[in-house]
Amino acid sequence: MRKTLPVVIVLLIACVCSQAQSPVVTAGTDFAAQPDPAMPALPQIGQPMGQGAAGPTPFGTGEQPVLRFAGDNAPQNQFIFSLSDDTGYDDNVFGTDSFRKRDFFTDVGPRVTFLTSRKHVTFDLDYAPFFQVYKQYSGYDSVNQSLNLDAAAQISPRFELRVRETAAEFYYGLVGGYGQPVVSGLGPPGGTVPYFVNPDTRSISSRSRVDIIFNKSARTTLDVFGDFSTLNYKNLRGTAGQLFNLEAPNGGFSYSYRVNARGTFSFTYDYGKSVYLKRLNPPRYQTQSASLSYAYQFSKTLSASFWGGPEYTQLREILLLPLPPLGFIAVPINKPEWDWSAGLSVSRTTPVSTISLMASRYVTSGGGLLTAIDDSMGELRFSRRLTLGWTGNAGLTYSQVQALSFGGLSSGRYNIALAHLGFDHKLGERASLRLNYTGTRQRHGLGTTIAGTALDYANVDRNRASVGIDWQIGKVHLGQ
């Protein structure tokens, strides 16, 4: 987060000094508005590379787009300050079956959203801290927070600089904050693995990415990018010392060629390595991948993206083997491995409903219980406008995680499922009512746990339900 702050300040100053300009962004695109489908316009500042004025997000951008109903405009040029209050019941407060406790909770906190689009600069910020208070276990009250930032500046008619940051701090295995996302997230293809960490800790995660985008022509875009991810755990009940903290620098480039107004090919090369900290002889790994993808807009309501390619991973670690009566012998391991990564994303958006399906398989960084992992996951999201002003949304994520490391009791296979069901209802212009349920299930492949180790917390069942109110205290329009 600190690494991107100077660039963000420069972009913010340029934003304030620039002349206002607010292009309309909608979920549904009218292809008839394109004057020449074979030669679409150059991308607008802040849009994912290679999209121009329309089309789905291609692989390689790091974009985790917000799913909206067709015809709904993305908010722009606004400063919004709101307050949220949720009260609910959690049947596994600490997120671990070995120390299962139930309690009622209250989450309350503000939310600041700053969205502005100028002639040469866009700046989108969504920050939400919230305080969590338990009825019975007041000693575990906590402050949680999440931040999404997306800023872009046009350096010249052909060059664009884009800076993004996603950061979060959560306790006891919580995932996400409250309310619907406003600013697009940043993450690996298919999204992040939902759990597979020791929940009985405080986790602090951050991912920063900088893109330098060169628009060679109306068809061709080159994006050179670099990002840096961290994941750290703080000690709560003595278990955080058994977990893997993570630092993961990453970089590469993506070349996109837009065939027409509907379709875009892209080639992405990605190199990354991971270093796991604060452990004796922690493993290290590096991976390289080359992916070819195709994103296509079938109609105003249906789009899809497919990607895949070879992947080369090299894992280095020191395996400690028992050697009676001397104790242990250190065996260095150098494990190179060729594999394939692949994925797809399909979404359908209408004025009354949205549905998206994502599936992916690739090697990525673990953190927490695990180091390098081979992750196969799928996610289904659905939302629909109901009668009497209600909106319903549901999601299901399933992930099968295989540890690549040889060592450690927590190595092996994990199965993780996360289900979400929610309903929202407008209570006038400034307030809305929200009903939420989240269910989590995680299982280690051995089906057993070992007391006193991190594996003791590998198996998790958790149900969390709440009712909340969002109140928009202030909203300032920043010009057109």
Query: Model confidence at 16, in pLDDT bands (50, 70, 90)?
Result: very low
Q: How many CB atoms lie within 10 A of CB 471?
A: 13
**Would the pLDDT of 335 be above 60?**
yes
Beta strands in 324-386 (DSSP E): 327-349, 353-367, 370-385
Q: Any idea of the CA torsion for 197, 235, 281, 249, to the nearest 10 degrees?
A: 60
pLDDT at position 191: 56
Query: Model confidence at 355, in pLDDT bands (50, 70, 90)?
Result: very high
Mean per-residue pLDDT of the chain: 79
**Would the pLDDT of 281 be above 80?**
no
Tell me the average pLDDT across 130-139. 89
Q: Any idea of the CA torsion for 178, 468, 202, 317, to the nearest 10 degrees?
A: -50
Which residues are 314's β-sheet partners?
Answer: 286, 336
Which H or E run contains 451? none
* H-only helix segments in 232-345: none
Lowest mean pLDDT among 165-179, 256-270, 288-302: 165-179
pTM beyond 0.85: the answer is: no
pLDDT at position 26: 33
**Would the pLDDT of 83 be above 70?**
yes
Structure tokens at 130: 């919230």
Chain centroid offset of residue 315 CA: 25
- Report the range out of 52-61, 62-71, 101-110 with the highest average pLDDT: 101-110
Which residues are 208's β-sheet partners?
Answer: 165, 228
Q: Backbone dihedral region of 3: left (phi > 0), alpha (psi from -120 to 50 degrees) or beta? A: alpha
pLDDT at position 408: 61
The domains of the chain, with CATH numbers, are 2-21+36-477 (2.40.160)
